[in-house]
Every structure is written in C-alpha cells, then in structure tokens.
Amino acid sequence: MSENVVRVVFVDADTGAQIGRSELPVAQLPESFQTRTTLELAGSAWSVERAEPPTAAEFGATGALALTLRRVESVPPADVLYSLPTICAVLPSVADMPGNGDRVELHEDDWRQVELVSADLTDLVQTELRGVRQSYEQHARRDGDGRVYGFQGIHVRTQPVRPLSASVSRRRLLAALPPLARDRGGIGFRDQRGIVPSSFAVSVGRMLLYGLADGDAVAVLALHVESGPTPEPQPGLATGLERAMRSANLVLVDWCRATLVRPHLLGDYLTATA
C-alpha cells in the first residue's frame, strides 16, 4: 500500500459490527479526529465517536485507521428546539495547553452569556437585547403553565465585539474579590483539547469569573455559575464586584435573561441567580 493511503475500517457504535472498509488518501482525512467530526457514509451522516489512532500523523505512519461511528438521526426542522434564546457569534480559538496548566471547561454555548460591559456601550447592548426578546416573543415554546422549555429560533449576538471600551486592570479586579477567591488557570471548551490563549478563570464559591486579558488589561470579563451544591454565602463578592464595576463604569448583562444590571442592583442579582 502507498504510504499516502490509509486503510479505514468503519464500526457501528451501537452494535460493534463492522459496517465498511475503504482505502483513502491521507489528504482526504482530517488532520485530527480529536474535535467533533461528522462523516457521510452510504448516503447517511455519522458522527465519529472514537478514532484509533486519532491524528493524521499517527494513522498516516501506520496506514491503518479504525473509526467508531454513530448514525446521526435526522429531525424535521420544525421539531428542533434550542435550549437557549441566544449565543455569542464568535468563540475564541484554543491552543495547546502547557504541561502544568489548569483549565476550567465551559460548554461553547456558555461563552459570554453573562458579562460585564462598558456603560458607554449601552446602545449596542440594547440593540442586541431586543433581538433576544424577540426569541422569547416569536420562537419560545411553552408548557401548559407558561414555562419556556425551548426555542425554535435563537438570536446570535455579534456585538459588542469589544465589551470593555476602556482598560480594566485584572490586578485591581482580583484585589477586589474576597480572600477565598481561587485561581483556576484558563478557559477550555468541552470536546476540545487545549486552552484559550490569554484566558483566566477565578472562582469564589460556585461563582466563576473568567475572561481574556492582555497582560494586566482585561478585554473580556464574564461570570458563570458552576453546577454543584448550594454554597455558603461568600461575603464581599457582591461588594467587591460592585466596587470594580463603579470604578471602571461597567454594567452587567445577562443575555439569556435579557437583563441589564446596574452596579447598585448587583447584590440582588447575584442573590437571585447564584
């Protein structure tokens, strides 16, 4: 066999049975199956659950590749529901993580869902919030008690591209947090190896503060409540964040709740959502 051709075996994840074989040029295969990959086989879409070995460097060298696949069931578009009313249009890229690096893993859909934004960008924020409210008004599906259980359409936010129009010091931000704040390293995404360059993450109880920074200058600053048991109250969290918001002239935007929170209401917001 040519060194540029790989013998590929396809295995059904549900039954463990071999469903096909093929000899394919390395150039026609992905460089890595470590991220989510979908293939078309015999006219059907299949998701790759496992690849052995996972990278082109490895299966190109051995000339053999085993792909465990699961058939992607097609669903009528009218039956597809999204769990959220909005997502951020752009995700940061990931890079290889240092050998001693730590990371917090987020779902891609959680990126910048609750974030701090410069108050002078309020007009941009309100424009995007109108789009989120339309998701509720036009696309929300509700049960008999009026509770939303999904959305047939979502609003993809493109603004603000730079949520912090003025410099925010990471050092001063961290100094404003309670003493129990814990450095968690950087941010990664589920189903992706690696870490977002220049990212940071700090937790206070279940409240995670994360974002992007160039040295001491914070470019993105967001909040995320991690799953787990209800924690003990964290004295000083609301006060410290409120002080940081006032100092840098920031507001908090909860995109999925279509809510803009001024500094003096931050404590009430954290109590209601934590």
Place 79 in a pLDDT band, splitting at 50, 70 and 90: low
What confidence tens digit (pLDDT) does each residue in 176-195 have? 888 878 899 999 998 788 89
Q: For 195-206, what is each residue's pLDDT tens digit? A: 999 999 999 888
Task: State the sign of the Cα–Cα–Cα–Cα dihedral 45, 49, 55, 60.
Answer: negative
Banded model confidence at residue 44, pLDDT cuts 50, 70, 90: confident
- DSSP states of 251-266: EEEETTTTEEE-GGGH
The answer to whether the beta carbons of residues 141 and 154 sit under 8 Å apart is: no
Mean pLDDT for the chain overall: 89
Q: Are 38 and 49 in contact (CB under 8 A)?
A: no
CA distance 25 to 260: 53
- What torsion, rounded to 10 degrees, do the Cα atoms 79, 86, 83, 80 define? 10
Question: Residues 99-140: pLDDT tens digits?
Answer: 566 899 999 999 999 999 999 999 999 999 999 999 999 999
Determine the average pLDDT of the residues in 30-58. Answer: 85
Residue 192's closest CA among 95, 262, 125? 95
Residue 218 has pLDDT above 60, yes or no: yes
Q: What's the confidence (pLDDT) of residue 1?
A: 44
The reported pLDDT for the residue numbered 234 is 66
Q: For residue range 225-247, list pLDDT tens digits in order.
A: 887 665 555 668 899 999 999 99
Q: Where are the domains of the chain?
A: 5-71, 86-273
Q: What angle do CA 37, 39, 42 make, to 5 degrees?
A: 165
- For position 78, what pLDDT does the model report? 62
For residue 91, give the 3-state DSSP assignment.
coil
Residue 68: is its pLDDT beyond 50?
yes
- Predicted TM-score (pTM) of this structure: 0.71
- What is the C-alpha to C-alpha distance for residues 89 and 106, in angstroms, rounded to an integer? 16
Of 1-5, 144-148, 191-195, where does mean pLDDT reach its minimum?
A: 1-5
